[in-house]
């Protein structure tokens, strides 16, 4: 998902309200804006706060739309959290080597040793990396909440099937973790499935502006050897298309084959792409990491193991999993007419159940209750682990810099400074004792 104009701040205000209710006081929310950005300079406050507020309030850093990428932020220019023209910015720029930075947090600017890291992935080594570096990870399935908003009108649309293709496949961008999509398109050609698919392939990556022939693949096994543009039209969809649905696409096809963000990976990270066919009442095959179907079942959805072979979801080797998915598609595409009618009737019963469950209060409460439970644990940990030692270290460094000591543009009053210091000292006594 690349940068979108979709108003996702509603989600973060919702998260903020839940967090503040649990914590019993103010928190500060950082999120990437424009939404979907991965640029560190776009990790900004969701709303303006007083300096005192973010000095004493726990930070919640939201990396819940995209997969975590610890290495991407391991060595970055210091992210300045204060106002752009403040004396503190100047000091950070001139004396950056003196201040500790911790990946997404930048220089430590408040009394808390740890920040809460809101994310949406399971079975993740990335989460473990952040656990070891000043973060308390908090999992919730943010894409479920996002999808409930984006696809809300699908609840009220009745499908009128007029099928002319077996498979619906959205295939737009292929950079980064999505390189496998090019090899998948080639597999469709090699198994003669392209004639059964309503799909596209972009020879020019829309986010990078380069052809796949000149692209430096992160994983060379996904480089296609076939001229894909000879077989598929290019996608005309814009970057925010995953925030919408086209009911005509679903009415004209039997099964959506969902190309997820992660495939050649060990993590579970299902996005709104997997929930769109569910919201639209469509049977689906998930081209994602191993265990994706079990992940959906964990949230009360049903899959199609009684109708077709879903053992592909258990295959850990990504190349073998991709081949097995293509073989399953070939089997479905070649069903005799009477078998197809019977099988698809069964599949639509499951799809109807999933559609109802997706729009149910039960599903929404399941997702939100999981967030609340994990936040309760995280706030307990942030209190238990806090020493304010990094804050006190920063204050010591600042007090050694004449520009800071002699500054004229104070953004807190002396009284506020004393209140902040008193709160920090309360925790700092743990070290001294």
Q: SS3 letters for 269-299?
A: CCCHHHHHHHHCCCCEEEECCCCHHHHHHHC
pLDDT at 74: 82
Highest mean pLDDT among 76-90, 314-328, 398-412: 314-328
pLDDT of residue 1: 41
Give Cβ neighbours of residue 242 (< 8 Å, ≥ 6 apart). 1, 170, 271, 272, 273, 276
Asked whether the beta carbons of 141 and 169 are under 8 A apart, the reply is no
The mean per-residue pLDDT over the stretch 263-272 comes to 97
pLDDT of residue 432: 67
Q: What is the pLDDT of residue 397?
A: 92
Q: Is the pLDDT of residue 284 over 90?
A: yes
Helix, strand, coil in percent for the chain, rounding step 5? 50, 10, 40
Is pLDDT of 433 > 80? no
Query: What are the chain's domains?
Result: 9-139+387-432 (no CATH), 153-360 (3.40.50)
- Three-class secondary structure of residue 336 per DSSP: coil
> How does pLDDT run across 50-63, given as a tens digit for each residue?
889 989 999 999 99
pLDDT beyond 70 at 368: yes
**168 membership: H or E segment, kind and range:** strand 165-168
The two structure tokens encoding residue 155: 């609840």
Report the pLDDT value the prediction gives residue 4, as an integer from 0 to 100.
Answer: 47
pLDDT at 77: 58
CA distances from 244 to 66, 257, 277, 279, 364 (A): 18, 17, 11, 11, 19
> How crowded is residue 188: how many other Cβ atoms within 10 Å of its Cβ?
26
Are the beta carbons of 412 and 420 closer than 8 angstroms? yes
**For residue 9, what are the CA distances in angstroms to 269, 271, 364, 380?**
21, 18, 18, 26
CA distance 378 to 407: 37
Whether pLDDT at 153 is above 80: yes
Bridge-partner residues for 61, per DSSP?
30, 117
How confident is the model at residue 6, as a pLDDT?
58
Span 297-333, pLDDT tens digits: 999 999 999 999 999 999 999 999 999 999 999 999 9
Report the side by side order of strands in the sheet with 28-32.
43-45, 28-32, 59-62, 115-119, 135-139
The tens digit of pLDDT for each residue in 158-201 reads 889 999 999 999 999 999 999 999 999 999 999 999 999 999 99
163 CB neighbour count, 10 Å cutoff: 13
DSSP 429: H
Predicted local confidence at residue 211, as pLDDT: 97
> What is the predicted pLDDT for the residue at 205?
95
The pLDDT > 90 percentage for the chain reads: 77
Q: Give me the mean pLDDT over the 220-242 stretch.
A: 91
- Per the model's pLDDT, the better-predicted residue between 108 and 96 turns out to be 96
Highest mean pLDDT among 31-40, 231-240, 293-302: 293-302
Are 256 and 167 in contact, with CB atoms under 8 Å apart?
yes
Mean pLDDT of 209-224: 97
C-beta of residue 46 within 8 angstroms of C-beta of residue 12: yes
DSSP strands (E only) in 330-374: none
Q: Name 248's Cβ contacts closer than 8 Å, sequence gap at least 6.
A: none
pLDDT the model gives residue 240: 74
Kindly list the distances between the CA atom of residue 127 and the CA atoms of 114, 139, 165, 288, in Å, as whole numbers in the listed order.
Answer: 14, 9, 40, 19
Angle at 393 between CA 388 and CA 398, to 5 degrees: 125
**What pLDDT does residue 3 have?**
43
């Amino acid at each position: 998902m690349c940068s979108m104009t979709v108003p996702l701040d509603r989600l973060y205000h919702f998260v903020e309200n839940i967090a503040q209710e649990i914590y019993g006081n103010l928190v500060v929310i950082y999120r990437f804006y424009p939404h979907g950005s991965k640029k560190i300079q776009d990790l900004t406050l969701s709303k303006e706060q007083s300096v005192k507020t973010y000095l004493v309030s726990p930070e919640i850093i939201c990396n819940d739309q995209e997969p975590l990428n610890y290495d991407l932020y391991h060595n970055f220019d210091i992210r300045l959290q204060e106002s752009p023209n403040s004396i503190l910015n100047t000091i950070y720029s001139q004396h950056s080597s003196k201040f500790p930075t911790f990946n997404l947090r930048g220089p430590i600017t408040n009394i808390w040793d740890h920040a809460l890291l809101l994310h949406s992935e399971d079975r993740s080594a990335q989460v473990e990396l952040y656990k070891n570096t000043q973060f308390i990870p908090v999992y919730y399935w943010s894409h479920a909440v996002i999808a409930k908003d984006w696809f809300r009108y699908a609840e009220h649309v009745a499908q009128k099937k007029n099928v002319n293709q077996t498979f619906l496949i959205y295939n737009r961008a292929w950079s980064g973790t999505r390189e496998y999509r090019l090899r998948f398109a080639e597999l469709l050609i090699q198994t003669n499935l392209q004639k059964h698919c309503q799909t596209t392939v972009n020879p020019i990556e829309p986010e990078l502006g380069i052809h796949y022939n000149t692209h430096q693949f992160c994983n060379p096994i996904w480089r296609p050897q076939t001229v894909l543009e000879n077989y598929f039209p290019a996608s005309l969809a814009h970057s925010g298309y995953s925030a919408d649905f086209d009911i005509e696409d679903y009415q004209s096809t039997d099964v959506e084959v969902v190309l997820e963000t992660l495939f050649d990976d060990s993590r579970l990270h299902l996005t709104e792409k997997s929930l769109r066919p569910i919201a639209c009442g469509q049977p689906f095959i998930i081209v994602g990491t191993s265990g994706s179907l079990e992940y959906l079942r964990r949230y009360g959805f049903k899959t199609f193991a009684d109708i077709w072979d879903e053992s592909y979801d258990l295959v850990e080797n990504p190349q073998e999993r991709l081949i097995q998915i293509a073989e399953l598609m070939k089997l479905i595409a070649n069903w005799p007419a009477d078998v197809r009618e019977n099988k698809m009737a069964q599949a639509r019963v499951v799809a109807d159940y999933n559609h109802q469950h997706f729009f149910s209060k039960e599903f929404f409460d399941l997702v939100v209750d999981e967030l609340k439970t994990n936040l309760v644990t995280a706030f307990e940990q942030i209190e238990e682990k806090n020493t304010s030692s990094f804050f006190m270290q920063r204050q010591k460094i600042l007090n050694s810099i004449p520009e800071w000591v002699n500054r004229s543009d104070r953004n807190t009053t002396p009284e506020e400074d004393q209140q902040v210091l008193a709160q920090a000292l309360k925790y700092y006594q743990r070290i001294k004792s």
